[in-house]
C-alpha cells in the first residue's frame, strides 16, 4: 500500500528528509555541499520560505521550514533537488536519480515541537559519530544558532526564547544542545500516523483544513 497523498498547506511547518538513491551518498565533496547550500539560499529567497534549520549528511538532508503561500512544498523540494541533481550528474558524468524517490515530510506543530526539532537536526552529525559536538560541523545551521557562522537565510526567531542579548541566546542554545546530547531525546518517537509531529487536536484541525481545501 502506497503512502497517502501529502497534506500540503501554506503556513504549516514541515520537517523534510530526503535520502540518496539506494541510500548512497548524495555529497562526495565539500564543493557538493557548498553548491547545495548556495541553491538552498537561492530558493529560500525566491520562494519566500522560512527556513528554521538544516543539516547536510553524506547520504541525506534534513530541512525544517514553513511552507509559503505561493508555492507548494512539493514544488519547492522538487525544484531544489532537481537543479542540484542535474548539476551533480553532469559533473559526475552519470544518469539516473540522485535522490531516493519521494521525499519524506512531517507536519510539525510549531509551538510544541519546532525548537526541539532544531536540536534534533543539529545533533545529527553527533549521533552519526562525525563530530563530537554540533559546533564542529560546518554543513548545517547549528553554527548560525551558536553565533559562530552566519547564514542570513536561516530564520532564528526562536532564539529569542533564550534571552534578549545575542550572546546570552547563543550560550543558552549551546546548553540546550548539550542537554540533548546527554538525555538523547528523540522527538521522532512522538510521530503520529507516520506524518505528524503534533497533538491529536492539532492533527484534527489540519485534516479539517485539508479536506475543506479539496
User: CA geometry: angle at 124 spanning 100 and 83, to 5°?
Assistant: 35
Q: Could you tell me the pLDDT band of residue 1, with boundaries at 50, 70 and 90?
A: very low
Tell whether the model's pLDDT for residue 2 goes beyond 70.
no
Q: What pLDDT score was predicted for residue 5?
A: 83
Return contacts of 151-158, CB within 8 angstroms, 24+ apart: 151/37, 151/41, 152/41, 153/40, 153/41, 153/44, 153/45, 153/51, 154/51, 154/52, 154/53, 154/54, 155/50, 155/51, 155/52, 157/52, 158/52, 158/114, 158/115, 158/118
Tell whether the model's pLDDT for residue 111 goes beyond 60.
yes
Can you give the pTM of this predicted structure? Answer: 0.95
Domain formed by 13-193, architecture = 2-Layer Sandwich (3.30)
Task: List 18's β-bridge partners, or say none.
Answer: 61
Tell whether the model's pLDDT for residue 101 goes beyond 90.
no
Q: What pLDDT score was predicted for residue 71?
A: 96
| Structure confidence by residue, pLDDT tens digits, 121-151 | 999 999 999 999 999 999 999 999 999 999 9
d(C-alpha 38, C-alpha 27), whole Å? 14
Position with higher pLDDT, 61 vs 94: 61
Domain regions of the chain by residue span: 13-193
Q: Could you tell me the pLDDT band of residue 41, with boundaries at 50, 70 and 90?
A: very high
Q: What pLDDT score was predicted for residue 11?
A: 97
For 88, half-sphere exposure in the C-beta direction (CA atoms, 13 angstrom radius) is 24
Tell me the average pLDDT of the chain. 95
Q: Could you tell me the pLDDT band of residue 166, with boundaries at 50, 70 and 90?
A: very high
Tell whether the model's pLDDT for residue 181 goes beyond 90.
yes
Amino acid at each position: 500500500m502506497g503512502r497517502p497523498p501529502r497534506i500540503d498547506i501554506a503556513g504549516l511547518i514541515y520537517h523534510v528528509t530526503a535520502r540518496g538513491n539506494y541510500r548512497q551518498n548524495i555529497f562526495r565533496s565539500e564543493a557538493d555541499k557548498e553548491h547545495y547550500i548556495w541553491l538552498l539560499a537561492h530558493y529560500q529567497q525566491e520562494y519566500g520560505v522560512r527556513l528554521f534549520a538544516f543539516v547536510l549528511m553524506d547520504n541525506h538532508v534534513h530541512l525544517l521550514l514553513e511552507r509559503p503561500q505561493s508555492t507548494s512544498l512539493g514544488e519547492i523540494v522538487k525544484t531544489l533537488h532537481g537543479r542540484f541533481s542535474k548539476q551533480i550528474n553532469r559533473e559526475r558524468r552519470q544518469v539516473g536519480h540522485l535522490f531516493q524517490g519521494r521525499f519524506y515530510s512531517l507536519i510539525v506543530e510549531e509551538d510544541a515541537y519546532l525548537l526541539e526539532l532544531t536540536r534534533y537536526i543539529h545533533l545529527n552529525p553527533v549521533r552519526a559519530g562525525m563530530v563530537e559536538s554540533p559546533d564542529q560541523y560546518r554543513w548545517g545551521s547549528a553554527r548560525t544558532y551558536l553565533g559562530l557562522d552566519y547564514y542570513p537565510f536561516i530564520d532564528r526567531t526562536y532564539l529569542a526564547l533564550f534571552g534578549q542579548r545575542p550572546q546570552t541566546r547563543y550560550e543558552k542554545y549551546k546548553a540546550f544542545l548539550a542537554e540533548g546530547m546527554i538525555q538523547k531525546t528523540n522527538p521522532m518517537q512522538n510521530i503520529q500516523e507516520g506524518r505528524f509531529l503534533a497533538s491529536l487536536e492539532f492533527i484534527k484541525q489540519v485534516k479539517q483544513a485539508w479536506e475543506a481545501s479539496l
